[in-house]
Amino acid sequence: MDYETMMDERQKHLHEHFPPNSKLSDPEFIKKLLDWLTFWRRNPGRFVQRYFGITLYLYQHIILYLMDIFPSICIVAARSAAKSFIIAVYACKEAILRPGSNIIVASATKKQARLIVSEKIQKEIMPKSVLLQNEIKTIKDNQNDIEVKFHNGSSIVVLVANENVRGYRATVFIYEEFRMIVKHVIDTVLSPTLFQRQIPFRIKYSDEYVELMEEPKEIYISSAWYKSHWMWDYMKIVVKDMLEKGKSVLIGMDYSIALKHQIKTRDFLIKERKKLDRVAWTVEYENLMVAENAHAYFTYEMLNKNRVLKRPFYPRKNEDVLTKAKNKYVIPKQAGEVRVISCDIAMVGGKENDNSIFTCIRALPESKEYKVSDTSGDHIEIKQGYRRQIVYMEPQDNLETTAQAIRIKQLFTDFDADYCVLDCQNAGLSIYDALAKVLYDPDRNMEYAPWTCMNDDKIKNRIVISGQKEVVFSIKAGLELNSKIAVCMKGTLNDRMIELMVSNQEGIEELQRLVPEYATADVDTQLFYERPFLETVALINEMIGLDYTVQNQTGLIKIEEKSGARKDRYTSVSYGNYFISMLENDLFSDSASYEYLTLYN
């Protein structure tokens, strides 16, 4: 090959700018080096296949090529589209082909970002490539530092995207699962640290090579989410720039990519479809951004800011009760804590979109003391009430009356609950009748004491048995009460006095850390552990999809679900929340200190 004819005048004399003892002073070496660098940089997919020993799919070739061309890349891809793998491959390729690159992978959680190094680079790519192993100088992978250093001066650093990461500088910033990162952190902390890759010969001869300045790169990669999230506005900016032939590109992929290339099997996807609710499937696998209901009474932002819980409650398995095995995941009661099982009962044999929902709620008392300046220094107590924690939620479908009543008493016992809030409309009344009697549980070989109603004498007098415990709070919701319940629920959310489980992704990270058997368990067992997180996703999807209207004459709020949608999770949680607000009223009516014991039966 005649390299001489392919070089411009500056390239022909490039070797003259280096000392005689450098290989770069050899004109033949420079010619071959420039030729190969040009070839590999223009064909990143071929470089990865040749250098890393990895066979890429066509879509991965295309993504790597586009990531090389555009300085601003946004990839929104379904679960199982190998997003983390692409990030790892790109980062290693960039570090090798562009010496002195500072590549930073930022994520909302360190564990998620850490997978790029520990799982993808170390365990998946490096074992296949001796050449990559020779390029890497050191790898740090501990709680404080996660960094891959290359012999050519490049590095890949993993960090958590928060206010505490100031001081880093990057030529490439990769925002992994960027929908979980606070936009303010990207705009004010991370993005401003981007700088142009410093090349020694270009710095020394900057006037000659000014047009060769490389733009730093930002790569946003995530799964889809709600259109109310800031990522939707960013995606629209990227698309607009792309259509105007700017320097941005948006790439989208749904589950068909994973299916076509057998990254996931059809049977696996069918199981996932059964496990997830409609909206979660749409977001996670169909890769569609979900629009919030324009008439929604509850917004995604309102709900998402309350997603802070990482510790769920798990009921006991029947076999563990029979063998008297200790419950490893029991949550001890705190001083003054009240526990509630809130039950929305579906019509037996009724609508297809109805389920009975049983929700476990912890109510933790909170108060603060303030000194009043115009007194003699005495303190007064300002009572805030109860902080609610939705620690478990369970749907029951097509169960007959006695079976549902037994399940309620199982959860009540396992949860060490104090009250049962029960929907006593229609089928719920027959559930109450079962709860009011002595119940034998054949699955656990135990008997449950009868209950009675605490707030409705008419229901209480339906069945009278000696020894009944007054624990059932009956709800018969009409328009006025439903309006109060909705307003109460919205107020609790806005006041940040209710806590929901974190995202399923964060939940799985906690399970992997705290539950040793989770990683190797079968699908049903994993689903058992994931249920509190998955049900929270379903609850949020329900609530943001609810319509509301204000009655003209009364001003009452009417909450309705769309055709084919559900509101049973919302109903269960909001009933329990309303009951706890009534307990708070009892607290507020007493000017003395909390009298917790008056709340117990």
pLDDT digit string, tens, across residues 446-505: 999 999 999 999 999 999 999 999 999 999 988 999 999 999 999 999 999 999 999 887
Q: Which residues on neighbouring strands pair with residue 498, listed in sequence order?
A: 388
Segment 167-171 shows an average pLDDT of 87
Q: Which residues on neighbouring strands pair with residue 332, listed in sequence order?
A: none
- Please indicate whether residue 318 or residue 226 has the higher confidence score (pLDDT): 318
Cα radius of gyration rounded to whole Å, the chain: 30
d(CA 355, CA 394): 10
Query: Is a pLDDT exceeding 50 seen at residue 579?
Result: yes
- Does residue 394 contact residue 411 with C-beta atoms inside 8 Å? yes
Domains defined along the chain, listed by start: 1-42 (no CATH), 53-260 (3.40.50.300), 300-369+377-588 (3.30.420.240)
Query: Is a pLDDT exceeding 60 seen at residue 374?
Result: no
Segment 82-98 shows an average pLDDT of 93
Q: Which of 229, 227, 224 is nearest to 250 (CA)?
A: 224
pLDDT on residue 593? 42
- Does residue 170 contact residue 195 with C-beta atoms inside 8 Å? yes
- Does residue 559 contact residue 486 with C-beta atoms inside 8 Å? yes
Q: Which of 387, 374, 369, 372 is nearest to 593 (CA)?
A: 369
Most confident of the following: 60-74, 269-283, 286-300, 586-600: 60-74
H or E segment to which residue 469 belongs: strand 469-475
The confidence band for 111, taking pLDDT boundaries of 50, 70 and 90, is confident
pLDDT on residue 349? 45
Q: Write out the E strands in 79-124.
A: 102-107
Q: What is the pLDDT of residues 245-266, one digit of tens each?
A: 999 999 999 999 989 988 888 8
% of residues, the chain, pLDDT over 70: 88
d(CA 399, CA 347): 10
Q: Which of 258, 254, 251 is nearest to 283 (CA)?
A: 254
Query: Is a pLDDT exceeding 50 seen at residue 599?
Result: no
Segment 183-212 shows an average pLDDT of 72
DSSP 12-42: HTGGGGS-TTSGGG-HHHHHHHHHHHHHHHH
Q: What is the pLDDT of residues 314-356, one digit of tens each?
A: 999 999 999 999 888 889 999 999 999 999 998 754 445 568 9
d(CA 241, CA 449): 68
Helix axes 58-69, 44-52, angle to 10 degrees: 120
CB atoms inside a 10 Å sphere around CB 244 = 8
Q: Which of 393, 472, 468 is nearest to 437 (CA)?
A: 468
pLDDT on residue 596? 37
Distances (CA, A) of 74 to 69, 116, 198, 311, 358: 13, 18, 25, 33, 40
Query: Is a pLDDT exceeding 80 seen at residue 81?
Result: yes
d(CA 490, CA 302): 8
Length of the chain counted residue by residue? 601
CB atoms inside a 10 Å sphere around CB 524 = 7
Q: What is the pLDDT of residues 494-550, one digit of tens each?
A: 999 999 999 887 888 889 888 888 888 888 888 899 999 999 989 998 898 888 888
